Amino acid sequence: MELVAVFAPLVGFLIAFLFGKQIGPRGAQFVTCTGMILAAVMSCALFYSVILQNDPRVLHLATWIAAGDFEVQWALRIDQLTVIMMCVINIVSACVHVYSVGYMSHDPARARFMAYLSLFTFAMLMLVTANNMVQLFFGWEGVGLASYLLIGFWSHKPSANAAAVKAFVVNRVGDFGLLMAIFTTFVVFGTVQFDAIFTMAPDKTVDTFNFFGFEIHALTLICLMLFVGAVGKSAQLGLHTWLPDAMEGPTPVSALIHAATMVTAGVFLITRFSPLFEYAPFAREIVCIVGAMTALVAATIGLTQFDIKRVIAYSTMSQLGYMFFALGVSAYSAAMFHLMTHAFFKALLFLGAGSVIHAMSNEQDMRRMGGIWKYIPTTYVLMWVGSLALAGVPFFAGFYSKDLILEAAFASGSWFGQMAFWMGIAAALMTAFYSWRLILLTFHGKPRASAETMAHVHESPNVMLIPLAVLAAGAIMAGSMFYGAFANSATSPGHTQDIKHVGDMVSIWDKDYFFGDSIKVLPENDSVVAAHHVPKWVKLLPILAGALGIGFAFVVYMFREGMADKIVRAFKPLHTLFYNKWYFDELYNFLFVKPCFVIGKLFWKGDKNVIDGLGPDGVSKLSRGIAGRLGVFQTGYMFHYAFVMMIGLIGLVSWFIYRTMGS
């Protein structure tokens, strides 16, 4: 069961990739979709046996790297946290696979596309099932590779290639942090196996580690390095610049990788390492601050963009910010909750946007859309559902998870938690605003596209709409259904620890907490439980913010034409800053990219002029004077030189033998 859930996508990838030509695009689509659906069904079965029957397990496969006292295994760690991730990944991925059959139907390389999607899914599954840090790194880099391949899928587009390379290289900066975390963990703990690390963590709280001459609290150092990795993968402020550019990839890719799964790997990583983060309060503080700032900054950029996919991309970044500040206040299960609901409604939004783009003959600029809701009503309704969930309107999925995060931040009682709460409220207002800005600009008003495009506007085929419907069901129900499980915690009554016997079932209908030991929260840090006791206004404020944002969007984009321009003019400097994405790209180009090339050229010249000048070329110049007189010997034939050398060698050896024989 575990093996099928993890390796079915790999098999699909191998068949579609290696024999894509033989089995044709139809065959490739069939193989990969079947593999994915099988994997999705199996993960639901695992949900039953691991979570409901409370039976986490580890499956050992083979030894990977063993050198000295260092050893890592290929293994599948199937615990509650893993299974949640597996369900999300496999279900969303299966939807995206099926959707792609329709979306990519005109692409000549669609077999390869399906293969890459399956490869990505496999890598992501390896990431979440890892039982040690190195296998996690394997999956981590594997998803990076798949993301690189898929962003640059339309390889004839220079912008797509640039975005792909950028994504990979920026992610590598994050991977650098993760690599350092692995090394530090090994030096501190003597192992990189999860179980061993987590058991030992409480004994290592006083250890320090010497890094660049500073004695640093070892666990804090490890956690901060892990966080650098998470920042890269999850596009948090600082290493986020690749995510908007990644929208160059086909839309199903954006939905699967850059919204639902890969970008949430950072959230998973920190949740997985909750037994360490619990003992590293300073690291959590940093996580919380960076998360809150990301949520806010991304939302401000999202307000001003016109590319429909980029708006959703910035919204993804902003939502990831929410998850991170939840992690920062120890509300791990709340972050996981939002991860899950977000996967559904954001994948829905992206695929919906894809459906719009498909209908508009590949137009992505919202300034050239408008007035199409009558022509594509199903897509329109589904986009509404996604936006309602995103804006946190009551009883949609996002409402439960986002509110839980905000309440937990407020309830944590720390200054950074309070700060995150207020920044989160502000971001929620903006989220609601830009979501309806998107809907109104895209679907309402007068058509701004060319007559030719408008004539072609058509609803997508069922093969695209059915996956959307599945995701929409998730976006509506996932919140209310799982609220109890995620909103309780290990320290609150009625959780899995009370279930002692195999066969006893965890009942999600009774709102039982089901994470078991896979998430660790110290009782004094438990903000999720504290979140149930916040004042009434804290619970109401996010709803109010959402409603305000929606209303404001209607005023600006529906009822008062021209008001948007007036606002832009009034806040010109601010708008310029937001519209240009706070100038991060320009800054990084100036600080890192350009200097690298300049220094590279400099050193290259150094090789030529300094090293060679003093070395071989200098010597040769010097000797040319002498050689000029002995020009007879300079024949230019290599074998002459070699011959001379051989003679020299024989001479030396004979001298050596002669010397020693004589002595």
Partner 1 sequence: MLDFPILSLLTFLPLLGAAFILTIRGEPEMVARNAKYVALYTSLFVLALAGYMLKNFDGSSGDFQFVEKVTWFPSLGISYHMGIDGISVFFVALSAFLTPICILASWDSIKKRVKEYMVAFMVLETFMIGTFCALDTVLFYIFFEAVLIPMFLIIGIWGGPRRVYAAFKFFLYTLLGSVLMLAALLALYFHAGSTDIPTLIASPVARNLQFWLFIAFFASFAVKMPMWPVHTWLPDAHVEAPTAGSVILAGVLLKMGGYGFLRFSIPMLPEAAEYFAPMIYWMSIAAIIITSLIALVQEDMKKLIAYSSVAHMGFVTLGIFTLTAQGVQGGLFQMISHGVISGALFLCVGVVYDRLHTREISRYGGIVKNMPIYATVFMLFMLGSVGLPGTSGFVGEFLVLLGAYRVDPVVAFFAATGVVLGAAYMLMLYRRVVFGPAVHQDAGEMQDLNWKELVNFVPLVALVLWLGILPGVVLDKTAASVNKLISQYEAGLVVTTPVDEPPRDAVQEPVE
Restricting to residues 587-606, name those near partner 1 by CB under 8 A. Answer: 596-597, 599-601, 603-604
CA 527, 529, 533, 538 dihedral sign is positive
Residue 639 as a binder of partner 1 (CB under 8 A): the answer is yes
Count of residues in contact with partner 1, rule CB under 8 A:
72
Burial group, residue 542, by CB count within 10 angstroms (0-12, 13-18, 19+) = buried
Interface pick for partner 1 out of 26, 57, 60, 172 (rule CB under 8 A): 172
* Residue number with CB closer to partner 1 (413 or 613): 613
The minimum distance between CB 242 and partner 1, in angstroms, equals: 13
**Interaction pattern, residues 371-400, with partner 1; x per rule: CB under 8 A:** ------------------------------
Residue 642 as a binder of partner 1 (CB under 8 A): the answer is yes
Residue 168 as a binder of partner 1 (CB under 8 A): the answer is yes
Burial group, residue 585, by CB count within 10 angstroms (0-12, 13-18, 19+) = middle
Burial group, residue 374, by CB count within 10 angstroms (0-12, 13-18, 19+) = exposed
Contact range with partner 1 by CB under 8 A, out of 166-174, 302-310, 329-337, 514-522: 166-174
Q: Which amino acid is at 87?
A: C
Ranges assigned E (strand) in 89-221: 208-211, 214-217
Q: Which amino acid is at 445?
A: G
Interface pick for partner 1 out of 558, 611, 622, 647 (rule CB under 8 A): 611
**Interaction pattern, residues 115-154, with partner 1; x per rule: CB under 8 A:** -------------------x--xx--xx--x--x---x--
Contact 477, 449 (CB under 8 A): no
Rg of the chain in Å (alpha carbons): 29
| Cα 194 to Cα 32, 134, 275, distances in angstroms | 32, 10, 10
* Residue number with CB closer to partner 1 (114 or 429): 114
Interface pick for partner 1 out of 537, 559, 633, 637 (rule CB under 8 A): 637
State how far Cα 245 lies from the chain centre. 14
Interface pick for partner 1 out of 583, 616, 622, 647 (rule CB under 8 A): 616
* Residue number with CB closer to partner 1 (111 or 404): 111
The Cβ of residue 231 has, within 10 Å, a number of other Cβ atoms equal to 24
Residue 173 as a binder of partner 1 (CB under 8 A): the answer is yes
The minimum distance between CB 331 and partner 1, in angstroms, equals: 31
The minimum distance between CB 89 and partner 1, in angstroms, equals: 19
Residue 620 as a binder of partner 1 (CB under 8 A): the answer is yes
Q: At what angle do helices 377-391 and 397-411 cross, to 10 degrees?
A: 10
Of the candidates 64, 31, 49, the one whose C-alpha atom is nearest the C-alpha of residue 135 is: 64
Q: Which amino acid is at 254?
A: S
The minimum distance between CB 63 and partner 1, in angstroms, equals: 6
The minimum distance between CB 108 and partner 1, in angstroms, equals: 10
| Cα 33 to Cα 41, 578, 626, distances in angstroms | 12, 40, 75
The minimum distance between CB 71 and partner 1, in angstroms, equals: 10
- Longest CA–CA span in the chain (Å) reads 109
Contact 605, 598 (CB under 8 A): no
State how far Cα 335 lies from the chain centre. 14
* Residue number with CB closer to partner 1 (236 or 412): 236
Looking at residues 184 to 243 of the shown chain, list those that interact with partner 1 (rule: CB under 8 A): 184, 186-187, 209-212
Looking at residues 500 to 559 of the shown chain, list those that interact with partner 1 (rule: CB under 8 A): none
Interface pick for partner 1 out of 31, 50, 143, 179 (rule CB under 8 A): 179
Contact range with partner 1 by CB under 8 A, out of 242-250, 330-338, 447-455, 646-654: 646-654
* Residue number with CB closer to partner 1 (196 or 657): 657
Looking at residues 24 to 83 of the shown chain, list those that interact with partner 1 (rule: CB under 8 A): 62-70
The Cβ of residue 623 has, within 10 Å, a number of other Cβ atoms equal to 12
Q: Which amino acid is at 29?
A: Q
**609: which DSSP letter?**
I
Residue 652 as a binder of partner 1 (CB under 8 A): the answer is yes
**Residue bearing tokens 């892990």:** 226
Residue 180 as a binder of partner 1 (CB under 8 A): the answer is yes
Contact 387, 438 (CB under 8 A): yes
The minimum distance between CB 34 and partner 1, in angstroms, equals: 24
Interface pick for partner 1 out of 7, 19, 30, 183 (rule CB under 8 A): 183
If you write DSSP's letter for every residue of 235-267 in order, what string do you get?
A: T-TTS-THHHHGGGS-HHHHHIIIIISGGGHHH
DSSP three-state, residue 558? helix
The minimum distance between CB 624 and partner 1, in angstroms, equals: 11
Looking at residues 309 to 338 of the shown chain, list those that interact with partner 1 (rule: CB under 8 A): none
The minimum distance between CB 562 and partner 1, in angstroms, equals: 41
* Residue number with CB closer to partner 1 (196 or 563): 196
